[in-house]
């Protein structure tokens, strides 16, 4: 065939590019090359899929008491972001790459395959919702259901398509020494990790407040002070055991800051990366504020969570899709 004429069943690249652009202009959400969006749907339909997925997530979360681990899943997918890397999805972030090995097998991600299994029925019912969106939707919904702030999330994230798109090991925070880069203190390590992503000291402290719910488990953490069970975790809910940072570890409030500051209960966990929030001069003013003012904590947390959920993400349409 002459150059520039389509062969049977195949359009020239420039025609396909134009069609994709036209679809986006008409409000369609279209998968880009190398992404893993299950199907192309218009933005209105995609919004309805997200709303349906959120309602199903509420039932899953409430029946399984899995709020904390779903927040951890969303965080660990997005928290690999490296602002110095320009190429998507190589920069890491909220791309859904955590579903692949080797990333899901990284030491910091122990236990998160269980969380992804919990979400499988939701993905099966709403297949057009990307993994990257599903993980972040689950995280935000889990916070809200636990009494935390409503987070002004945006959706439309595209998925990383292959294991080659996985983030490198070592990008997530460590709980205790030895810290990467031979950092001497936990505050140095926290700043290494979060400054790399573009956060400041206030945002580091606000995000740390998510430890107000959840537990550390011996089989998933080598951190000092983690117990097989405590008086707060020995009977569940959910799978019993582990050490919690707060007494009511399925409730999202500012108890974390109060309890870390007090350090009066040996059955509550205080890791070096927790204690430093009240010791470091840059972190301490925010930690003290959040211990006294839950509304301020909620406002700053919601803004930081939203920012974290969008790091490294590629949205189609570019402005994202709001579901509120």
Residues whose CB falls within 8 Å of the CB of residue 275, separated by 6 or more in sequence, listed in order? 186, 260, 263
DSSP letter (8 states) at residue 6: P
Reduced to 3 states (helix: H, G, I; strand: E, B; else coil), residue 278 is helix
CB–CB of 63/75 below 8 Å?
A: no
- 189 catalytic? Reply is no
The C-alpha atoms of residue 152 and residue 134 are separated, in whole angstroms, by: 15
Residue 70 to residues 57, 210, 307, 322: CA-CA distances in angstroms? 10, 12, 17, 21
CB–CB of 94/310 below 8 Å?
A: yes
DSSP letter (8 states) at residue 24: H
Question: In 44-75, which positions are buried (b, 16+ CB within 10 angstroms) versus exposed (e)?
Answer: eebbebbeebbebbeebbeeeebbbbbbbbbb
Which residues participate in catalysis according to the annotation?
Answer: 76
């Amino acid at each position: 065939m002459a150059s520039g004429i389509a062969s049977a069943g195949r359009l020239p690249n420039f025609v396909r590019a134009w069609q994709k652009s036209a679809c986006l202009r008409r409000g369609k959400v279209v998968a880009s090359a190398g992404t893993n969006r299950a199907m192309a749907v218009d933005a209105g339909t995609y919004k309805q899929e997200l709303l349906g997925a959120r309602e199903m997530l509420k039932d899953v979360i409430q029946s399984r008491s899995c709020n904390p681990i779903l927040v951890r899943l969303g965080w660990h997918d997005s928290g690999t972001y490296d602002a110095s890397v320009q190429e998507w999805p190589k920069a890491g972030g909220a791309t859904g790459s955590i579903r692949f090995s080797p990333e899901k097998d990284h030491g910091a991600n122990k236990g998160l395959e269980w969380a992804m299994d919990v979400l499988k029925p939701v993905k099966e019912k709403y297949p057009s919702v990307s993994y990257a969106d599903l993980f972040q939707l689950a995280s935000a919904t889990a916070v809200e259901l636990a009494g935390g702030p409503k987070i002004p999330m945006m959706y439309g994230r595209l998925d990383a398509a292959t294991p080659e798109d996985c983030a490198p090991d070592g990008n997530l925070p460590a709980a205790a020494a030895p810290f990467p880069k031979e950092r001497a203190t936990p505050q140095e390590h926290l700043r290494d990790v979060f400054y790399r992503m573009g956060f400041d000291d206030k945002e580091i402290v606000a995000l740390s407040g998510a430890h107000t719910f959840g537990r550390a488990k011996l089989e998933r953490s080598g951190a000092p002070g983690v117990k097989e069970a405590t008086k707060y975790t020995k009977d569940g809910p959910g799978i019993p055991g582990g050490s919690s940072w707060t007494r009511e570890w399925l409730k999202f409030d500012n108890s974390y800051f109060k309890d870390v500051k007090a350090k009066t209960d040996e059955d509550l966990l205080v890791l070096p990366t927790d204690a430093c929030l009240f010791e470091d001069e840059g972190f301490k003013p925010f930690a003290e504020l959040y211990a006294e003012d839950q509304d301020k904590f909620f406002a700053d947390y919601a803004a930081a969570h939203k920012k974290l959920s969008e790091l490294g993400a590629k949205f189609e349409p570019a402005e994202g899709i709001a579901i509120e």
